[in-house]
Amino acid sequence: MKNLSRLGRAFFAAAMAAFGLQYLIHALAASAPALGPPWIPAPHFSGYVSAIILVAAAAGIATATLARCSAISLAILLLVRPLLAYVPRLVANIHDPGPWTSGSELLALCGAALVLAGVKKLGRILFAAPLLVFGVQHFLYAHFIATLVPAWIPGRLFWAYFVGVAFVAAALSIAAQKAARLSAILLGLMFFLWVLIVHLPRVAAAPHNGNEWTSLFVALAMSGGALLIAGAAKGSSTFYKARAPKA
């Protein structure tokens, strides 16, 4: 399972570094249209802080330098962000799907970061719970989600419902640790296929749309997070322990 963890770590670190660069670009030039900041715009100061944490944590995770500290710092950022940005919006309008989606993405990535830090049980739960939100949304907004499926794929509405079922099944499997490794691998593969067949073409068609870039990196990060969950299942070594020098 070390190969799964390495691949997941690479995907996850690359996406975090990309988010950091997005924050930095917008902190330097608030009017820059090319890259949208991840999730919602941030004031200049917090944008710089977020950029530094994200890029530094990505470098630490990718190079195994202070990896556990990097993962914990990243997890804190990914937890604080939805608490400040999305919980108030949900309190104001609990039926708004936007904060549910974006906040759940952050919570899942927080869980992946905790798994990297060795906090497996909590990380696994925080990663699995948002999958239930994604699954429910695929049923509630199936007709809209079907429009996101590439036109050359037949049965677009079917795939919207199918993915909803897959999210719910993966959430229950990962949380209960029943066939969790297989579920996480399939989940990671699904997200990576989305990167290739959904998000890359959309970015290529609209390279100045920051939301498309962010969606691509979210899918890449979720793929990496799922592979990290798979690599950590049933007693596999955590990243920082696996890379620790021998006595």
Any domain includes 247: no
pLDDT of residue 209: 82
CA 138 to centroid of chain Cα atoms: 17
pLDDT of residue 49: 85
Any domain includes 203: yes
Which positions of the chain have pLDDT values less than 50? 33-34, 235-247
pLDDT of residue 2: 75
* Residue-range definition of the domain harbouring residue 197: 2-33+40-242
Contact 12, 228 (CB under 8 A): yes
Helix (H) / strand (E) element for 231: namely: helix 210-232
Number of domains the chain contains: 1
pTM here?
0.89
Any domain includes 16: yes
CA-to-CA separations, 149 to 25, 137, 156, in angstroms, rounded: 30, 15, 6
The pLDDT tens digits of the residues spanning 61-93 come to 999 888 899 999 999 999 988 888 889 999 999
Any domain includes 190: yes
Contact 29, 207 (CB under 8 A): no
Among residues 50, 232, 198, 18, which one has the least CA distance to residue 125? 232
The pLDDT tens digits of the residues spanning 90-128 come to 999 999 998 899 999 999 999 999 999 999 999 999 999
